[in-house]
Structure 1
């Protein structure tokens, strides 16, 4: 395996799959003694351009974000459409889904990871950037998410 595949080792986010985002986000808010951030739904396929395993997907998810110092905790409640979230939740139940890293050069890094037997599973766009989920379960025992924000002029 090549070394320093991402160009960073700073974890930006931990993603956790849940069945009930309202109940779970309140539990986290109470546990940490912070305000419940509420949740938002991901963009529709025509906006998010979601692809799962190489195919266009209508998949959407409710997301809640907790700022935990330099790390973000993301709760994810997926809908019924095919996605890495739905597949993982159905197969493994609630719990950790991914660790995310902010990167630059999405296409190049995805290609490099694929060359190292870590293929792209899902990708899409969000306001201000894009994401990619990488199947890194075999070597790393967890899915990696790449987050690339658009450069500000």
Structure 2
């Protein structure tokens, strides 16, 4: 597995609208997409900076993973996501290197990407996401 680039950096936020205003007003960026990913109990907002995106993550459920993250650690960097050719192949590659997987199989994520997470206990404390376009879009 060799990532092509950092796909996005995920930031956990309490209030999506306030956070969007911050990124737009301070950095002059434009939010180009807001999306709810119901099965992950999250609303997302995206900004593009070169080839990399900033993804803001707001919990839609008090017991959701982002809400728990903020309760434990506060707002801030939640994860880093790498673009790979094929998430399924990448998962096999990292598993062969004894990396603990959160997702054994790719699942649908925001922006129509296939995603999977690697457990931070195996990645030196960094929640790591692998992303690829679905195989029919490559």
- Bin for the TM-score computed over the shorter chain: 0.7 to 0.9
- State the SS of the aligned residue for 1:113: helix
Alpha carbons of structure 1 residues 86 and 36: separation in structure 2 relative to 1, 3 Å: same
Alpha carbons of structure 1 residues 119 and 83: separation in structure 2 relative to 1, 3 Å: farther
The one-character-per-residue Cα deviations of 1:50-85 (angstroms, maximum 9, x if unpaired) are: xxxxxxxxx321100001111100000022265543
**Aligned residue number for residue 125 of structure 1:** 108
**Aligned residue number for residue 45 of structure 2:** 64
TM-score, normalised on structure 2? 0.79
- State the SS of the aligned residue for 2:107: strand
- State the SS of the aligned residue for 2:6: coil
How much does 1:37 deviate?
3.8
Cα distance in 1 for partners of 2:123, 2:62 equals 27
RMSD after superposition: 2.5
How much does 1:139 deviate?
3.6
- State the SS of the aligned residue for 1:121: coil
The one-character-per-residue Cα deviations of 1:93-116 (angstroms, maximum 9, x if unpaired) are: 110011111112322321332343
**Aligned residue number for residue 55 of structure 2:** 74
Q: Is the 8 A contact 1:60 1:81 kept in 2?
A: no
Q: Which of the numbers 55, 68, 71 marks the counterpart of 1:90?
A: 71
Count how many residue pairs are aligned between Structure 1 and Structure 2. Answer: 134
Alpha carbons of structure 1 residues 117 and 86: separation in structure 2 relative to 1, 3 Å: farther
TM-score, normalised on structure 1? 0.73
How much does 1:92 deviate?
1.2
For structure 2, the 5+ residue unaligned runs are none
Alpha carbons of structure 1 residues 140 and 134: separation in structure 2 relative to 1, 3 Å: same
- State the SS of the aligned residue for 1:116: coil
Whether 1:27 and 2:22 are equivalent positions in the alignment is yes
- State the SS of the aligned residue for 2:58: strand
How much does 1:140 deviate?
3.3
